[in-house]
Amino acid sequence: MTERAAAPAAAPSSIDPAEVAKFQAMAAEWWDPQGKFKPLHMLNPTRLEYVCAQISAQFGRDRAGALPFQGLRILDIGCGGGLMAEPMARLGATVTGADAASGNIAVARLHAEEQGLEIDYLATTAEALAAEGRRFDVVMALEIVEHVADPPAFIATCRDLVVPGGMLIASTLNRTAKSFAAAIIGAEWVMRWLPKGTHDWHRFITPDELAGMAEASGLSVVDRCGMVFNPLGWSWSLSHRDLSVNYMLSALRGDDPA
């Protein structure tokens, strides 16, 4: 009797099924600027400005050029409907968008096709991509760290997905009284931009905690920057002084030892 070879073990995952289900349920509204993702549509130009500045500085790219990121491989992990993946593709990068919610990927693929953009969208996890040996010049993990089951393990996996000399750019919410007031009371309870329960304040991560996770994984943190909402001007801006609510972090992977 011939023995069957054992199936390869599945890659461990930091995915939280309950968190994935939340965004799966809202997938159809990704590209509605007045829908449930209105806060991200408002925030997106500010996120894009930060990401582009960091990538340009690290790789010596002239943002005034037609396709400044041409030749760079960028992964948007937790890409949702593609709000950041699409502008990266328009800037010339070779973009892979990955999300554990298949509904998000279906929406992202359709929208990219309608825009004439070539983006490799995959319904998968960071751990599965790392297990395949995939590597990227830039990994973006935006508004996802607070939704995974094991943030330190997730950041370590993101590090594995970055080539030596490449960078991780992450954004999340600080765990402060101000963030509770803004992200939960304001966005969910008062403005009703998001369904109640979208965020769990206890899962928010302080800048020092996120930096510690990055450093522990072998990355070198090079920048931390807040994103500040101005209710009077109804606009967002970057601030290196105010990281009390939303913030972004950039970290580099050095050359591996020979």
61 marked among binding-site residues: no
110 marked among binding-site residues: no
Rounded distance, CA 161 to CA 137, Å?
9
The DSSP line for the chain is -PPPPPPPPPPP----HHHHHHHHHTGGGTT-TTSTTHHHHHHHHHHHHHHHHHHHHHHT--TTSSSTTTT-EEEEET-TTTTTHHHHHHTT-EEEEE-S-HHHHHHHHHHHHHTT---EEES--HHHHHHTT--EEEEEEES-GGGSS-HHHHHHHHHHHEEEEEEEEEEEE--SHHHIIIIIIIIIIIS-SS-TTS--GGG---HHHHHHHHHHTTEEEEEEEEEEEETTTTEEEEESS--SSEEEEEEEE-PPP-
The one-letter code for the residue type at 258 is: A
Q: Is the dihedral of CA 85, 248, 173, 217 positive or negative?
A: positive
255 marked among binding-site residues: no
142 marked among binding-site residues: yes
Q: Residues comprising the binding site for S-adenosyl-L-methionine?
A: 47, 78, 99, 142
Q: Residues comprising the binding site?
A: 47, 78, 99, 142
